[in-house]
Structure 1
Amino acid sequence: YDPQVFHVDEEAARKSVLGGLCASGWHTASTWMKYNLEKRMETEGVRWTGPGPQPEFGPSPGFRNLKWLKPVYAGETVTFTRTALAHRPLAARPGWNLLTLRCEAFDSTGDKVIEFDSAVLVKVE
């Protein structure tokens, strides 16, 4: 929860440095996570077609380099993406790799509004 006036009060938001009501960056990041998990569950719910065995995901140890690049104003449409950057075995957890992702969101004009690097454990066979 981020109760600053430009997130909760339309009139005060118009007078603020941001010039209008906009989402908290934390809400934008949380929405990215919601759609990330929905897409993963959707993929897991259909028959896996490869390549290779269907991945088993574990927990995330966290994220880095979070940047809120542009306000997301009320009514804006946002597109969320994720791109795999790297994966490596974890010595402390045999049978698991650490997958690193670049996570981004873009507004309707194509401008990037948020980016961060995330990580998730993935079981290996």
Structure 2
Amino acid sequence: MSVGNAIYLDDLHVGQTFTSGEFALDAQQIIDFARQFDPQPFHLDDAAAQGTFFKGLAASGWHTAAITMRLLTSCLPIGSGVIGAGGDIQWPRPTRPNDTLHVICKILQIQPSNSKPDRGMVTTECLTLNQHDEVCQRMVSKLMVMRRPQ
């Protein structure tokens, strides 16, 4: 992110949306992430995953969350960084090999701080969608966002 396109609290408004670019995911990426961070059969091996709830290889929800974060940092260039302050995450459908993901993030609420006038809290809803516009992840989160430096 360059300084010229940085977004601050003063630049945001309720209802504003940000749309990311795309991220293509393949089976090997799913397996590699799972080996390191979430080594469960349905994330590691397609044949083993066939007999599970997922009925095939599925990315870890945390892998989908990590991809979401990568996409968010490019489409929501907050000057102070994307600093989370809590939230809720849901994975209504699995992310699969050969899915191409993108994120649509909507500003739901903006609350300037009363005690710290240089910042505020912003509530967002970020949907991570696959190439069929099916929601793979829904995340509602609060972000701490700084005001533009004077």
TM range (shorter): 0.7 to 0.9
Shift of 1:58: 4.8
Aligned to 2:94: 71
Gaps of 5+ in 2: 1-36
Aligned to 1:15: 51
Shift of 1:99: 1.3
Contact persistence 2:73–2:82 (CA under 8 A): no
- CA distance in structure 1 between the aligned counterparts of 2:111 and 2:91, rounded to whole angstroms: 28
TM-score by length of 2: 0.66
**Cα 1:59/1:16, change in 2 over 3 Å:** closer
Which residue, out of 43, 51, 57, partners 2:80? 57
When the two chains are superposed, the root-mean-square deviation of aligned CA atoms in Å is 1.8
TM-score by length of 1: 0.78
Q: Which moved more, 1:9-18 or 1:59-68?
A: 59-68
SS of the residue 1:78 aligns to: strand
Q: Which moved more, 1:59-68 or 1:74-83?
A: 59-68
Give aligned-pair identity as a percent.
26
Which residue, out of 9, 27, 30, partners 2:66? 30
SS of the residue 1:29 aligns to: helix
**Cα 1:60/1:8, change in 2 over 3 Å:** same
Gaps of 5+ in 1: 42-54
- CA distance in structure 2 between the aligned counterparts of 1:66 and 1:84, rounded to whole angstroms: 16
Where do 4+ consecutive residues of structure 1 move more than 4 Å? none
**Cα 1:103/1:110, change in 2 over 3 Å:** same
